[in-house]
């Protein structure tokens, strides 16, 4: 009888430790799974590059409100684009505001183009719009015309943050590279590049001077320095520095009515 009691107690002890080990194993698995999920979320966040709004546009940001809110944080410049403006057409007019001796005069226009901002899941694209060939929506050929005028991408930006509030949603991008890199559509025109034998942009001597936002337009001024084999002045430097102004103007939501061609009208 005594032996039976001991065996019964031994079985109960073994069952208790077995249940305890199983419970600990399950807790360990859950903890490991939770840590793995959290790490995966962190990795996805780093991969996507989209951070909380306050982490990008900090309390120290200098903000200029207008068509897009322009934020300056340390040495970086950001556009905060309202999502309602994606897809809208904007006119970009580029001028040489300050020029080197021998190139021309300040204020001379160097390029004009229509642009459109487009939002993707992780990027914002700046596309060039062409109206050279168009067809009315009601015509059968409309789709073929659209497919034959695919809008080229002028520049692509990573989405840095997204702001959501009662007014609407806005997307934050860093725009420094648009003005400091050699984006030819916003810089020195091809005719000058050939004339002065420009080889490349000197990034160390190129920078953003100022970006201002207004209700219907944004004005950006930036200095670009190009290495040149035949500069018009200061030949010993082997380079040309110019200040370029880019005016981006919001066009009407409803385009103006197109006029039919008439050879009697010049």
Which structure tokens are listed for 123?
């990027």
What is residue 114's predicted lDDT score, i.e. its pLDDT?
A: 94
DSSP 72-114: EETTEEEEEEEGGGTT-EEEEEEEEEE--TTT--TTEEEEEEE
Question: Which pLDDT score, from 0 to 100, does residue 145 have?
Answer: 62
Q: Quick one: pLDDT at residue 102?
A: 76
Q: Over the Cα atoms of the chain, what is R_g? A: 30
Neighbours of 28 (CB within 10 A): 10
pLDDT of residue 18: 58
| 187/243 Cα distance (integer angstroms) | 9
Helix (H) or strand (E) holding 242: strand 239-250
Given this model, what pLDDT does residue 151 score? 86
Whole-number pLDDT of residue 234: 82
CA 84 to chain centre: 16
pTM of the full predicted structure? 0.75
Euclidean distance between CA atoms 253 and 87, whole angstroms: 10
What value, to the nearest 5°, has the Cα angle with vertex 195 and ends 189 and 196? Answer: 90
Tokens of 229: 């084999």
Domain ranges in the chain?
A: 55-250
Instruction: Say what the pLDDT of residue 47 is.
Output: 47
Question: CA-to-CA distance for 219 and 213, rounded, in angstroms?
Answer: 6
Residue in 185, 186, 164, 181 with CA at minimum distance from that of residue 80: 164
Closest CA to 238 of 192, 186, 199, 264: 199
- The two tokens of residue 130 are 């062409």
* Regions in the chain scoring below 50 on pLDDT: 43-47
pLDDT at 168: 86
Paired tokens of 71: 């934020």
Cβ atoms < 10 Å from Cβ of 218? 22
pLDDT in tens, 124-146: 999 999 876 666 666 666 566 66
Can you spell out the DSSP letters for 118-147?
EE-SSEEEEEEE--SS---TTSTTHHHHHH
Give pLDDT tens digits for 158-174: 999 999 987 789 999 99
Beta strands in 184-216 (DSSP E): 198-201, 207-213
Q: In the prediction, which pLDDT does 180 show?
A: 94
């Amino acid at each position: 009888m005594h032996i039976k009691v001991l065996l019964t107690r031994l079985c109960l002890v073994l069952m208790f430790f077995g249940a305890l080990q199983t419970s600990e194993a399950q807790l360990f698995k859950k903890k490991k799974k939770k840590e793995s999920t959290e790490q995966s979320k962190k990795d996805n966040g780093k991969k996507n590059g989209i951070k909380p709004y306050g982490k990008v546009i900090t309390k120290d940001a200098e903000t200029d409100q207008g068509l897009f809110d322009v934020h300056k944080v340390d040495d970086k410049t950001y556009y905060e684009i309202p999502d309602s403006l994606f897809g809208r057409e904007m006119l970009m007019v580029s001028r040489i505001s300050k020029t080197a001796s021998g190139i021309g005069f300040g204020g001379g226009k160097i390029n004009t183009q229509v642009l459109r901002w487009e939002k993707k899941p992780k990027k914002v694209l700046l596309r060039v719009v062409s109206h050279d060939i168009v067809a009315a929506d009601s015509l059968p050929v409309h789709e073929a015309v659209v497919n034959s005028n695919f809008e080229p991408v002028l520049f692509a930006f990573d989405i840095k943050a997204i702001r959501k509030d009662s007014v609407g949603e806005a997307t934050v991008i860093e725009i420094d590279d648009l003005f400091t890199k050699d984006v030819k559509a916003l810089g020195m025109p091809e005719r000058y590049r050939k004339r002065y034998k420009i080889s490349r942009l000197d990034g160390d001597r190129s920078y953003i001077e100022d970006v201002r936002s207004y209700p219907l337009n944004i004005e950006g001024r930036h200095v670009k320095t190009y290495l040149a084999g035949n500069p018009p002045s200061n030949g010993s430097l082997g380079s040309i520095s110019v200040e370029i102004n880019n005016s981006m103007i919001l066009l009407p939501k409803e385009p103006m009515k197109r006029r039919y061609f008439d050879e009697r009208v010049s």
